[in-house]
């Protein structure tokens, strides 16, 4: 009977410890997203929570780890859009839209390379360099999106990808700013 009570007590204690650890991890994601949403009107709290929370490593990450997660989310978003643009280019488009897609392909490819450099700078704790590099991404995705609006009737097939990349870039930038300040 005593051993059963002992095992039950150990189980309860370990469950409590895991619950507290999980709560602390959720707190850092929640606290970080609150700070980002408060300082960056381009990033919504729910979007931040969903994005950072989508990485299982966020459960055990510290603020520096969350910064790397945010950078990786942005890099993965950009990288994933490149083949999507190539897929779109195989479809029939008028000459103007096709040229816009070709420009977007170049802009996204450049952004992927930029993010590789940003991740390297971040890992080397050169946070201002990382922020500078991250800061080029919103310009690229805005250029991609806005060029479709220059011709009446042209519609961007990349609006969702551009919005996601922009939000992720603002989120990554703000997270790196928090890391710099800590």
Task: Please tell me the distance from the alpha carbon of residue 70 to that of residue 154, in angstroms, as a whole number.
Answer: 32
Q: What CATH code is carried by the domain that includes residue 75?
A: 1.20.140.40
pLDDT, tens only, 116-158: 999 999 999 999 999 999 999 999 999 999 999 999 999 999 9
Backbone angles phi, psi at 67, to 5 degrees: -60, -45
pLDDT, tens only, 18-60: 343 344 445 899 999 999 999 989 999 999 999 999 999 999 9
pLDDT, tens only, 86-119: 999 999 999 999 999 999 999 999 999 999 999 9
Q: How many domains does the chain have?
A: 1
Task: Please tell me the distance from the alpha carbon of residue 52 to that of residue 57, in angstroms, as a whole number.
Answer: 9
Q: Contact at 8 Å (CB) between 79 and 133?
A: no
Q: Contact at 8 Å (CB) between 167 and 42?
A: yes
| pLDDT computed for residue 17 by the predictor | 39
For 33, the domain range is 2-181
């Amino acid at each position: 009977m005593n051993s059963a009570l002992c095992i039950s007590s150990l189980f309860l204690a370990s469950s409590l410890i895991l619950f507290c650890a999980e709560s602390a991890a959720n707190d850092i994601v929640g606290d970080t997203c609150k700070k980002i949403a408060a300082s960056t009107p381009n990033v919504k709290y729910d979007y931040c929570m969903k994005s950072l929370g989508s990485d299982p490593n966020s459960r055990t990450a510290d603020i520096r780890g969350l910064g790397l997660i945010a950078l990786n989310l942005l890099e993965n978003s950009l990288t994933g859009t490149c083949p999507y643009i190539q897929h779109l280019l195989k479809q029939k488009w008028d000459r103007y839209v096709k040229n816009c897609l070709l420009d977007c392909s170049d802009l996204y490819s450049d952004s992927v390379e930029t993010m590789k450099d940003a991740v390297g700078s971040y890992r080397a704790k050169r946070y201002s360099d990382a922020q500078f590099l991250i800061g080029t991404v919103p310009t690229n995705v805005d250029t991609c999106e806005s060029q479709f609006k220059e011709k009446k009737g042209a519609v961007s097939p990349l609006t969702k990808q551009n919005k996601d990349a922009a939000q992720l870039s603002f989120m990554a930038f703000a997270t790196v700013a928090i890391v710099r300040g800590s």
